[in-house]
Amino acid sequence: MSIKISLIVPVYNCEKYLEKCLESVMKQDLAGIEVIIINDGSEDNSLEIVEGYKSRFENIYIINQENKGQGAARNLGIKIAKGEYIGFIDADDYIDYNMMSSMYYKAISNDYDIVTCGTKIVNEDGNIIKEISIVDSGQLNSEEAILSIIKGKNTFAVWNKIFKRKLFIENNIFFKEGCYYEDIYVIIKAFSCAKSIYNFKESFYYYVQHDKSTTKQKKVKYYNDLLMEVARTKEYINDKYPKNKLINISFENIQTLFLLQFISELNFNINIENILKQKLRDKEEIIIFGSSQGGRIVKRYIEESGFSVVAFCDNNPDLWGKEINNIPIINCDNLADDKYKSYRIIIASMYFVDIYNQLEQCNIEDRIINFSLIEELNIL
């Protein structure tokens, strides 16, 4: 029997969750799946659990290696996989029994290079915290699919997707080893190389959110790796899509929000004031589009740097007329009022693309400040 899908499962010290993960994998209703488990130097009972499953199922293959990290484990899986398609599952997550059949048969129906699905974020008891449904469902080309991810309508992760294996091999797509956030670059490169992509609206993948405390040292590692991967991906996007302004600036601005949230959480001693003075005019007053966490973080740094925020703008009508620290929340129509039409706008929202298009339709996109700080924040 030919192998339809190779499922790659990196395993490292996850004995608490591993059985639920493997049960969901082995109950898939698609024949022709090989399961490649990379034991990444586990020090708990993970290997014993995996070997127990291997004794019951002939399509499980175990590779043991010293601890090299998830990126290295995934790369090894890609190299030895025999399937027409490959998929990735984190060992503490699980999937619906029909995920692989649904995605595989859709993939071969129109020779799609990539098929994706929605994700349910659940707690350790299986209760749904949030569902990331694929709003831009159906068939997309590479640029449409990349914009969908940047817009937050899909994830920067590999685990809710299947890919043609030859897409990775022929385009030399592998994960950066020894770092976090290695999915970001891989996803953008894979999507840019794909000829056709299909997005399922349905959610087949369950991402388990854990209540784990993280040391500041580890968070600094997260920040540095995120910054490195964002910068690397930004360079790739600039080279691949030099004429697509929206892909470029939306990716840069959204990732800047992530970086500022890290800086705020960790209280890094970074001179944001000097950075902002390169972006803003002397004593400039700003409107921030987005009044949630990202907008409030941007407000904090703007005000600490000696600039002023005159208003928040938001598309949520329940917030119009309310205030945040005596700063009014207005709607998009107000931006053309005499009171506000002279102020420039910073988009501080994960929905950057939609807001940018909205302002463009109102003929005020020339007031948008490109708030990318990726290069400037690369100082740790």
DSSP 24-79: HHHT-S-SSEEEEEEEES--SSHHHHHHHHHTT-TTEEEEEE-S--HHHHHHHHHH
Q: Is the pLDDT of residue 334 over 90?
A: yes
- Model pLDDT for residues 97-144, shown as the tens digit of each residue: 999 999 999 999 999 999 999 999 999 999 999 998 877 778 999 999
Q: Name the residue among 308, 295, 292 with its Cα closest to residue 344.
A: 308
Query: Within 10 Å of residue 15's Cβ, how many Cβ atoms?
Result: 17
| Region of poorest pLDDT, from 11-20, 209-218, 275-284, 317-326 | 209-218
Q: Is the pLDDT of residue 290 over 90?
A: yes
Q: Is the pLDDT of residue 379 over 50?
A: no
What is the band of 380 on the pLDDT scale with cuts at 50, 70, 90? very low
Q: Do the beta carbons of residue 329 and residue 321 sit within 8 Å?
A: yes
- Residues 6 or more apart whose Cβ sits within 8 Å of residue 258: 226, 230
Q: Mean pLDDT throughout 63-80?
A: 96
DSSP string, 220-242: HHHHHHHHHHHHHHHHHHHHH-T
Beta strands in the chain (DSSP E): 5-11, 33-40, 60-65, 85-88, 94-95, 114-122, 128-132, 138-140, 161-164, 197-208, 285-289, 308-313, 323-324, 327-330, 344-347
DSSP designation for 97: T
The CA-atom distances, in angstroms, between 13 and each of 17, 196, 231 are 10, 37, 31
Q: Name the residue among 39, 36, 35 with its Cα closest to residue 14.
A: 39
